Structure 1
């Protein structure tokens, strides 16, 4: 049985589809369409660059969305045994299903998680082909985001246990303890016992606004762990709403593709699985940055700076965006270059300080988060490039004598921070023309450098750089690189949150699968399985 190949698709008008009530078009995903080698025929066309506007595209890729929903459901189901499970699970404890949390049962649950994540990645890449070809617009992408987020919001934490640390950091001040001086180990009860061992004695490295949110969540949920996780997700999901609102509007201003921006910055499995399914407070920080940046571009400067300041009060990394926004603000003013900069920077600081101080006062916490920022340095893995360089240098030195690990790690990390400082200052200075596209591009480069050069790197750190890059015009090559990096970071930890970076067979397989996912954006069947299947039936 052979599969007929279709002619190259060059635009939304060439896509076979069927009309639905209300004038909506459902994207047809028939066998002949699925056999198409890629989303574009002409590398110079709009579908190749992914920069064409897709406001008129109304296709709903039903099968692709359903594929992602099945994947998200499987990931959530497998997380019952292999995710960030509770020490005392009120759902599974005392039932015949407890076997999925131990031994071969947990291995099976891990396979279910990986299968689900694989299907979600497959659906995401398929969605990207539709979006870049102009067949699906922002409505279809938003529907996919919503459908894929719901299952992971209802399941156990995926690829992390950080949410239990968040609950502990909210409970500490409610118990009259300083969350910036003590770790969850100072507490008794189920919250403390579910925090990952490495963070038991670690003070909170987060800003006062997030501590206020965590206090509110724990004040409502108490020691009910499941309620606490669900409420924390609800508290943070507002970041996704803000992201989905701001990304397409930013892309329209910057010459990007609004639908591609949503596809890369919000529908990305790295965002859905880690930020939503985790969850991680980076989601709220990124949403505030996205909306704040858009408002500054729209000349609502003060309100924009307020929102980015609130993002900094979630995680201080957001403060790096503020100096870049000053250049955009300065460009909107009159006068000499120096006068405009001084006015914008001075007013920006005048907004930042009282807003941040207000968060500090309302949360009723100290400035202890500043020394706590280095708390995650206890994690040593090569995904942080300076740490990886220190590991290599230590390994070479150990051939000749018995050196101290800390000397090499500290030296490499110090050099990495110096390099990061240089990159940040240089990119900031090169953005001084205030051109919006130039400013955001250079801010994205700095955020990417931060993700790579900080002393410790976690997969979700890359999502801020992704969000900023997503709104820019992206070449086909850039999109494939983003897919590779997203898939690699997605599974560089195990489903229970432990690091997988030192499992080199796992890393090797992950690299191959990431390459396959990236190639699949360009060709539907990069392994030519359809051709082999056809030959087998001749």
Structure 2
């Protein structure tokens, strides 16, 4: 028995190794690998490192803290993004024919595993929250600035003095990883990739299987969702806790389609304890396998106990983890923190523009009325979209409800970062999108990635930003051309 088990494991390892070696033989895979190598190198330039990074002394000693080094780093990142986008588009016909999607992701992720967090300093915030908990402080009640030093100095200035709205399990994981890193600020931030990689693994393993269960071509699912450059850069490179949340939601959907209702709800509850938007998954999880026939009042009444049970279990798991960690529910007081800065969220941008005009005319002594008002309008629109989707789509297309519901929350909410689009974006291929929607999604992916590169290049002054804008235009034209050829 033992010999047979060892032989089986060895055979599986040989198959996996063959998949990996076959993948690197493809030119697009090598192009994408070049992109992530350049991205890792670009992350070591001054524009992308926090003030307390351990790389600064070496960079100063080598004379790499100059404007030219910053501009060169920005150029590396822009070229890297371009390589990844072009490689991704060229690989679409090859997935499941010439190459396995997971092998592509493995090659592209490899350089990012040893790089500093990419395109965002959130991982440094996670480390600071873990440091607070190590010292017996509650991140819902205190900010990283309470404990000056290496951990706080890595945190982006705007978040250094604010409490966190993250879920209790996310904070507990941060605490464990800070201890695992030996209380080293930088290594603690890098280790935040571990839970993100767990989430990515769940997405890669289960999402194509869900596609097969739903009768959706798993090739399309694997191509768009699992090797999407946005996922590679933001979930693997950025180490965002959204990756674990999304991965657990995908696991919950898989379990639901297998008929395992209660385990699916448990997975969704754990996902909510990582990040609260996972609660939205409770509705489609209740619908899947329910046999809900129509909106006739008798059918609705028959379905209602299952819906109530779904929300009760998901919220119950979240409450249990909140109490078990001892953190409580202080995140509610910090729920407005993400909306404090101007992001890609359309209504936040609109509010900011209106606020500038109001401030110039002296119409708003508070300095936030127009921003807050616009964000409130956006939130109402998001809720209206959810209500419309819940009535028109959820009963017959529960995954479509979840995909577009998450996108509505991300787009109309008070804050929208590029990785928020992955909440619903990874589920988008399960909705059987039209050819036009495929093209739009690919173009949006390219634009959002270039924005991510330019966003952290503000420190490189207007010249570098102008170069980034030119690169964005070039990438948009490239994506448009590639899509016309491929579709």
Q: TM-score, normalised by structure 1?
A: 0.79
Find out whether 1:70 has 2:29 as its counterpart.
no
Aligned to 1:447: 406
Is this contact kept in 2: 1:256–1:473, CA < 8 A?
Answer: yes
Q: Mapping of 1:259-298 within 5 angstroms?
A: 259-298=219-258
Report the alpha carbon displacement of residue 94 of structure 1 after superposing the two structures with TM: 4.3
Whole-Å separation in 1 of the counterparts to 2:291 and 2:62: 61
Give the Cα–Cα distance (whole angstroms) in 1 for the partners of residues 338 and 85 of structure 2.
29
8 Å contact from structure 1 (residues 64, 123) kept in 2: yes
Q: 1:367 aligns with which of 325, 329, 343?
A: 329
Q: Matched residues in 2 for 1:222 and 1:82: separation?
A: 26
* Matches of 1:447 and 1:213, distance apart in 2: 24
1:387 is aligned to 348
What secondary structure sits across from 1:492 in the alignment?
helix
Residues 35-434 of structure 1: pairs in structure 2 closer than 5 A? 62-82=26-46, 84-91=48-55, 93-94=57-58, 98-131=62-95, 135-136=97-98, 139-331=99-291, 336-381=298-343, 383-394=344-355, 401-404=361-364, 405-433=367-395
Higher relative contact order (CA 8 A, sep 6+): 1
Q: Residues 387 and 456 of structure 1 are in contact (CA less than 8 Å); yes or no, is this contact kept in structure 2?
A: yes
CA distance 1:206–1:329, change in 2 (3 Å): farther
Structure 1 match to 2:429: 470
| Pair 1:219–1:158, CA change in 2 (3 A) | same
Distance 1:309 1:111 in 2: 42
1:83·1:160 contact (CA, 8 Å) conserved in 2?
Answer: no
Greater Cα shift, 229-238 or 291-300: 229-238
Write the distance in 2 (CA, Å) between the matches of 1:90 and 1:385: 36
- Residues of 1 paired with 2:225 and 2:28: CA distance? 18
Residues 67 and 123 of structure 1 are in contact (CA less than 8 Å); yes or no, is this contact kept in structure 2? yes
Unaligned runs of 5+ in 2: 1-13
2:11 is matched with none
How far did residue 102 of structure 1 move?
3.5
Distance 1:140-1:432 versus aligned 2 partners, 3 A rule: closer
Residue ranges of structure 1 left out of the alignment (5+ in a row): 1-20, 27-57, 527-538
Q: Does 1:479 align with 2:438?
A: yes
Q: 1:88 to 1:351 in 2, by over 3 A?
A: closer
Find the counterpart in structure 2 of residue 457 from structure 1.
416
Q: Is the 8 A contact 2:44 2:55 kept in 1?
A: no
Deviations 1:63-104 (Å, cap 9, x if unpaired)? 111111111111101211146425344456246764334321
Greater CA radius of gyration, 1 or 2?
1
SS in structure 2 at match of 1:330:
coil
Distance 1:320 1:146, change over 3 A: same
Task: Note the C-alpha offset of 1:290.
Answer: 0.5
Q: Which has the higher helix share?
A: 2
Aligned 8 A contact 2:116 2:190 in 1: no
**Aligned in 2, Cα 1:108/1:266: closer, same or farther, shift over 3 Å?**
same
Contact 2:259 2:289 in 1 (8 A): yes
Report if aligned partners of 2:126, 2:189 keep a CA contact under 8 Å in 1.
Answer: no
Q: Distance in 1 between matches of 2:23 and 2:236?
A: 26
Q: 1:449 to 1:511 in 2, by over 3 A?
A: farther
Please say if residues 23 and 103 of structure 2, whose CA atoms lie closer than 8 Å, have aligned partners that are also in contact. Answer: no
